[in-house]
Structure 1
Amino acid sequence: MNIRKLNSNENYPMELLLLADPSRKLVEEYVIRGECFIAENDNQIIGIYVLLPTRPETVELVNIAVAEEMHGRGIGKQLVLHAIQTARSRGYKTIEMGTGNSGIGQLALYQKCGFRIVGVDVDFFIRHYPNEIYENGIQCRDMVRLSQDL
């Protein structure tokens, strides 16, 4: 597997981005302002993440997704660790992220990679998404905010 920055002449793998964030409108807004990195295996895109500068010395990991048929192979962890290293190498002091309260596996992964829970944006997914989202049998209502000092 190879992880690299998406070239400016390449199309965004929207189907992967929408796995992590079902709002096409929000995805289209932040991919333009951020940097996309893709994971490839045999010339096929199997994962993606987006880094978005938010404040001086702070970057946010706004989207991370792995093709569903590739789940359970450690690709997500490799992407998260690559994002942390990329942010560090670019001189950022803090990397942040947010995920749904219902993403139990994601919350565990991010904490294993050194992120700490720093807050909750109550009803974020109710306010910003027109359709209810369910994951693991739990309604996704709140955004759990995580952060890591680099």
Structure 2
Amino acid sequence: MEIRLLKKAAGLPMDLLLEADPSEGLVREYCSNGFVYEAAVDDELMGLYVLLPLTDGIVEIKNIAVAEDARGQGYGKRLIQHALYEAERLGFGNVEIGTGNSSVDQLMLYQKCGFRIDSIDRDFFTRNYPEPIFENGIQCRDMIRLVYTF
């Protein structure tokens, strides 16, 4: 798998980005202010992530998504490892990531990759998304914030 920085002039793979975040407006905003990395095997898009600098020392993984037919094969973990490598290479000391209270698989993966739960933003999803989001039979209401420190 090759992971590369997507050039700003290239079109965004919106279908995949919207699988991780259903707000096209928010996705376009943080993609324009951050770095979009795509992972491909033989030029077939397998996944992507977005790094968004927040301060001089903190960067956030804003979006991480794996193509549906590539899930369960370790691509998500490899994307996170690459994001951590890039964040450290770029000089950031902390990497943040947020996910919904209903995203149990993501919560498990992030913790396995060394992230620690830092805070909960109650009602984040009900405040910021017009339509209710359901995942794993649970309404996604709260943003669980995790942090990785080098």
TM-score, length-scaled by structure 1: 0.98
1:3 aligns with 2:11: no
Q: What's 1:125 paired with? A: 125
Deviations 1:82-125 (A, max 9, x none): 00010001110100011000000000000000000000000000
**Distance in 1 of aligned mates of 2:71 and 2:44:** 15
Shift of 1:8: 2.5
Write the distance in 2 (CA, Å) between the matches of 1:19 and 1:80.
Answer: 17
Q: In the alignment, what sits opposite 2:43?
A: 43
The within-5 A match list for 1:57-68 is 57-68=57-68
| Structure 2 residue 139 is matched with structure 1 residue 139 | yes
Percent identical among aligned pairs is 53
Residues 3-61 of structure 1 deviation map (CA, whole Å, 9 limit, x = unaligned): 11112331110111000000001001100000000000111111000000001211000
**Where does structure 2 lack aligned partners over 5 or more consecutive residues?**
none
The secondary structure found in structure 1 opposite 2:27 is helix
Structure 1: 4+ residue segments shifted above 3 A: none
1:28 and 1:120 mapped to 2: Cα distance? 24
**Partners in 1 of 2:10 and 2:56 — Cα distance?**
28
Give, in angstroms, the shift of residue 136 of structure 1. Answer: 0.5
Q: Which residue of 2 aligns with 1:100?
A: 100
Give, in whole Å, the separation in 2 of the partners of 1:14 and 1:44.
15
Is 139-148 or 4-13 further displaced after alignment?
4-13
Q: Which amino acid aligns with 1:92?
A: F
Structure 1 gaps, min length 5: none
Cα distance in 2 for partners of 1:53, 1:145 equals 16
TM-score (norm 2): 0.98
After superposition, the CA RMSD in angstroms is: 0.6
Deviations 1:114-139 (A, max 9, x none): 00000000000000000000010010
Query: What is the aligned length?
Result: 150
What secondary structure, in the 3-state scheme, does the structure 2 residue paired with 1:55 have? coil
Q: Which residue does 2:76 correspond to in 1?
A: 76
